[in-house]
Chains A and B, each alone.
Chain A
Amino acid sequence: MTAGSQMNANNLHEPAAGFDFSNYLRNQNLLQTDGAAPKLKAKKTGTTIVGTVYAGGVVLGADTRATNDTEVAERNCEKIHYIAPNMYCCGAGTAADTENTTALISRQLELLRMDTARPSRLVTAVTLLKRMLFRYQGHVSAALVLGGCDLQGPHIYQIYPHGSTAKLPYTSMGSGSLAAMAVLESSWQENMTEDMAVQLVQRAIGAGIFNDLGSGSNCDICIIKTDGTVDYRRNAVKPNELAPLRAQVQRSGRLNMRPGLTPIIKSEFKPHPVVAAGGETAMEVE
């Protein structure tokens, strides 16, 4: 009988609600064994994400680097997630947690829109997210910047993995949040125009990309306006293109792997057996 489960009427084990900690001791032992630790590591995003309100809506920004400890796992991942037609959410922390949490709440909101026949409100999304994250006591490592426009106007919220939230005119999260916040604090003003807001977000994300080792590559921008339109600018700025640097290297022909270079140790051909029901070959046409 595994801890935390109970027998039901059909003698099947039902998992108890919440997290099952029965693997905790096994994980501790694994971490002590040499070489087993990498198997337990979750991919973290090591990120810079920002959001700001401006005169006509909100602007969200994010970098595009996903890291596995100190290795870059993905150079151009998407960190601005769709929540609703009028809401997007930037996610920092463990990649699987941010993707699945935002997807779950997005789908819950869609069902709610069908039930209520109304556009979603940001407070609803914030409440759904914080209730879920608090229930998991911070084990779901998702730090989010949620932004959008509803009938009450444009809003930016920041949501921490343990479930606390804050409603702010501008914010940044992730390992590059200090670099980004330095830019935001020096340049943010109330009632910016769209261009000013976009420039500010790009500079803030740029500060994270170049000064934080956990962030890098490109900058994604998402503008959500109070009139309901969304401008999702994937790779709005690409300051880290590799091609110009590679072009400066006189690549030696030595690098090219021509056919015939790779040693073939053994070669074997086995035709796949095709047996139709009734013993006839499947290729016969009737």
Chain B
Amino acid sequence: MGTLMASTEESSVVATTSLPIEHRFSPYDFNGGTVAAVSGPDYVVVAADTRLSSGYEIKSRNVTKLHALTDKCILASAGCKTDVDQLRSVLDIRGKMYQYNHRKPMNTPSVAQMLSVTLYGKRFFPYYAFNVLAGIDAQGVGAVYSYDAIGSFERTQYSAAGSGQAYVIPFLDNVIGNRNRLEEKPILTATEVVELLKDAFLSAGERDIYTGDQVEIMVVTRDGIQTQTFALKAD
């Protein structure tokens, strides 16, 4: 007749299932990879691995994460490949329009601002792209800009982004940023920086499952862009 059953002391606690879950389609996929850039007095070095992954699978061992927006400026992006591709398209179009209107290509600080504005334009459905912009600025000095997904940016001497970011940045902090070292901060040549980035990516490849296969390294100087590749482990 509706009497309440007193729960006995011996009743075991059964794991309660959680509340009803609404299943939604996620428009984002993380395609992995690491990018890094280091600037110097008259050069900038950008490096990115060439592995494209999805979940636990490798989709391709040879896809570039670097994209030259002008002959002095390179955009390196990790994240969702389709968003990265679309972002590159949009930036290319806007860069072309600038060139037609001003009769000259955009300089690097202007590209940096344009990228920030483009990213914030999709503040409420962001580009899943972790960007590092590297180029030679109007004074001929190397410039690196690091971004978050919605356009907050800062000019820095060096930067890294992507799945292996946590393995590369502390290393660069020590060697490029001279942190925790009692000596004069040295001025490194582009060749030395290239070798340091190769080492950094080898280490990142050891511990990050999404980083590997190959590193593509571009050196930008006032004379143009030179590219080289370096093999990483394929496992």
- Chain A contacts to B: CB under 8 angstroms: 1, 3-4, 6, 16, 21-22, 24, 28, 46, 65, 67, 70-72, 75, 175, 209-217, 239-240, 242, 245-246, 248-252, 254-255, 257, 260-263
Q: Which residues of B contact A175 (CB under 8 A)?
A: 56
Given A213-B56, A216-B235, A251-B195, the answer on whether A71 and B207 have CB atoms closer than 8 Å is: yes
Report if A249-B208 is in contact (Cβ < 8 Å); known contacts: A21-B13, A216-B235.
no
For B11, the closest partner residue in chain A by CB is: A3
State whether the Cβ of B210 lies closer than 8 Å to any Cβ in chain A: yes
Number of cross-chain contacts by CB at 8 Å: 100
- Among residues 132 to 165 in chain B, which have CB atoms less than 8 Å away from a CB atom of chain A? 163
The 0/1 profile, CB within 8 Å of A marked 1, for residues 52-70 of chain B is 0101111000000000000
CB <8 Å contact, B182 and A263: yes
Which chain A residues border B101 with CB–CB below 8 Å?
none
Contact present for A250 and B195 (CB under 8 Å) = yes
Q: Contact check, B210 vs A70: say whether CB atoms are below 8 A apart.
A: yes
Residues in A whose Cβ lies below 8 Å from that of B58: 211, 213
B102 in the interface (beta carbon within 8 A)? no
Cα(A210)–Cα(B10), bound, Å: 52
With a cutoff of 8 Å between Cβ atoms, the chain A residues found around residue B181 in the complex are: 257, 261-262
Contact B235 A24 (CB under 8 A): no
Please determine whether A16 and B56 come into contact, CB atoms closer than 8 angstroms: no
Q: Give chain B residues whose Cβ lies under 8 Å from the Cβ of A4.
A: 12-13
Q: Contacts A214-B56, A217-B235, A255-B175 given; indicate if A24 touches B202 (C-beta within 8 A).
A: no
CA distance A250 to B186 in the complex (A): 18
Residues of chain A within 8 A of B114, CB atoms compared = none
B14 at the interface (CB under 8 A from A): yes
Which of B14, B186, B195, B232 has a CB less than 8 Å from the CB of A21? B14
List, in ascending order, chain A residues with CB within 8 A of B10's CB.
Answer: 6
A/B interface sample: 26 pairs, CB < 8 A: A1-B9, A21-B12, A21-B15, A24-B13, A28-B18, A65-B235, A70-B209, A71-B208, A72-B207, A209-B235, A211-B57, A214-B209, A216-B233, A216-B235, A240-B235, A245-B233, A246-B199, A249-B202, A250-B195, A252-B175, A252-B195, A254-B188, A255-B196, A255-B199, A261-B181, A261-B182
Classify the interface of chain A: helix, strand, loop or mixed: loop
Q: Are B13 and A254 in contact (CB under 8 A)?
A: no
Contact pick for A210, options B163, B209, B235, CB 8 Å: B235
Task: For A21, list chain B residues within 8 Å (CB).
Answer: 12-15
- B162 CB, min distance to chain A CBs, angstroms: 12
Query: Known: A246-B199, A251-B199, A261-B182. Is A3-B13 also a contact (CB below 8 A)?
Result: yes
CA distance A18 to B188 in the complex (A): 62
- Chain B residues 188-213 with CB under 8 Å of chain A are 188, 192, 195-196, 198-199, 202, 206-210
Which one of A24, A75, A257 lies within 8 Å of B15 (CB-CB)? A24
CA distance A224 to B211 in the complex (A): 37
Q: Closest 6 CB pairs between A and B? A: A216-B235, A3-B13, A213-B209, A249-B198, A213-B56, A240-B235
Also in contact, A254 and B175, with CB within 8 A (given A70-B163, A249-B195):
yes
Contact A216 B13 (CB under 8 A): no
- B206 engages A75 (CB within 8 Å): yes
Contact of B208 among A70, A217, A263 (CB under 8 A): A70
Once bound together, how far apart are the Cα atoms of A217 and B209, in whole Å?
11
B223, CB-defined interface residue at 8 Å: no
Q: A210-B234, A261-B181, A262-B182 are in contact. Are A245 and B195 (CB under 8 A)?
A: no
**In whole angstroms, how far apart are the Cα atoms of A252 and B209 in the complex?**
26
Q: Is B16 part of the contact surface with A, judged by Cβ < 8 Å?
A: yes
Q: At the interface, yes or no: B90 with Cβ under 8 Å from chain A? A: no
| B230 on the A face (CB < 8 A) | yes
- A175's closest neighbor in chain B, by CB? B56
State whether the Cβ of B22 lies closer than 8 Å to any Cβ in chain A: no
List B residues 10-35 near A (Cβ within 8 Å).
Answer: 10, 12-16, 18
Residues from chain B with Cβ under 8 Å of A215 in the complex: 235
